Amino acid sequence: MSSSKLQPPASRPLVVRLRNWVGDVVLGVPALRLLAAHGHELHLIGKPWAAKLLAGEGWQVHALPKTTRERVRLLRTLRRGCRAADPGFPRRLNAIAFPFSFSSALEMRLAGLRAIGHAHEGRSLLLGRALPRRRGMHELEVYWELACALLGQAPQPPAAIGLRVSEPHREQAARLRREHGLEPGRYLVLCPFAGGTFEKLPKTWPAFPAFAQALAPLGLPLVLCPGPGEEDAARRDFPGCLVLPGVDLGVYAALLQDAALMVSNDTGPGHLAAAVGTPTLSVLGPTDPQQWRPWGPQVSIVRGDEGGWPEPAAVMAQLRRMLAAPRPSAAPA
């Protein structure tokens, strides 16, 4: 047998434009893993924080430039490198656009890439293949469906995301815990903030500050990791909490992994907590849980009637039930 037959087949380069929100990137991880498992070498492009968020997965992440011209230049550079590594690169679908925006499809077209993405905002002619965006699906399934279409397969998505956390981020989180006297499994993380709206309605539970004060009798430290611009509100509205500003997403993931529980609005850190296997209590109002609930077996949703906010007593009762339940041991990565 010749030595060439003993070598594994070369991977197929694939340029991937990630979405611009933490929760969406987290929910796209199973689709990215599926593509990698089928021989695609991923070249990811996303917001600067995406590299730290995905550090444990080992994928290369390029920071998304600010202007269209710079983005097209980066995409052309990636195209040239991918073509050099794989002569068949130009003859196949060679990119995937997770965003729905017209601009993301235009930039790929201008760079000479043949992308698969969703038919939206009149961008079908810019894509190498355009799929209708089906309604009534969870957002994780939306990204999963795109990957399956590219591969020509239709496996079921995993029950849990199992986002991998890098060892350096684990070490940084351990130092932070020691510095503030936090014991693994003996603190709660709260995320009372939420960017954007759902159907023009705010996603922030109005009772969150009062609810946080009512948690004091539990005797567990309450931790907040506010994002940029949230620091003052965290200190003002949550005086009994340990506020840790400036924590990057990789360290945040490691802190969440060792927390007893996460309580959050419909927001990226809630998806992140569920993705690393932390029991997650998601407090939802107008958000549609069928589309945007955190994904995983240890997620509980508390929501009011007809899309309203739940009463604090209902959230507290569910939190106590979750704290009393045994936590399954983590599966090996």
Q: How do residues 14-70 score in pLDDT, each as one tens digit?
A: 999 999 999 999 999 999 999 999 999 999 999 999 999 999 999 989 999 999 999
**Same domain for 17 and 94?**
yes
CB 47 within 8 A of CB 160: no
14-42: b (≥16 Cβ within 10 Å) or e: bbbbbbebbbbbbbbbbbbbbbbeeebbb
| Same domain (yes/no): 128, 197 | no
> Which of 121, 151, 181 is the last residue before a domain boundary?
151
Assess whether 312 and 243 both reside in one domain.
Answer: yes
Q: Check whether residue 179 and residue 267 sit in a common domain.
A: yes
Q: What are phi and psi of 119, to 5 degrees?
A: -70, 110
Q: Which domain holds residue 52?
A: 10-151
Residue 329's pLDDT is what? 63
Structure confidence at residue 10 (pLDDT): 59
Q: Tell me whether residue 132 is in a domain.
A: yes
Tell whether 307 and 204 lie within a shared domain.
Answer: yes
Same domain, 131 and 192: no
Q: Which of 18-22, 214-218, 307-311 has the lowest mean pLDDT?
A: 307-311
Query: Residues 144, 212: one domain?
Result: no
Is 185 found in the same domain as 136?
Answer: no
As a whole number of Å, the end-to-end CA separation of the chain is 35
CB 75 within 8 A of CB 107: yes
- Same domain as 256, residue 126: no
pLDDT tens-digit map of 127-177: 999 999 888 899 999 999 999 999 999 999 999 999 999 999 999 999 999
pTM of structure: 0.93
Count of the separate structural domains present in the chain = 2
Residues 173 and 310 in one domain: yes
Domain match, 145 and 205 both: no
Average pLDDT, the chain: 93
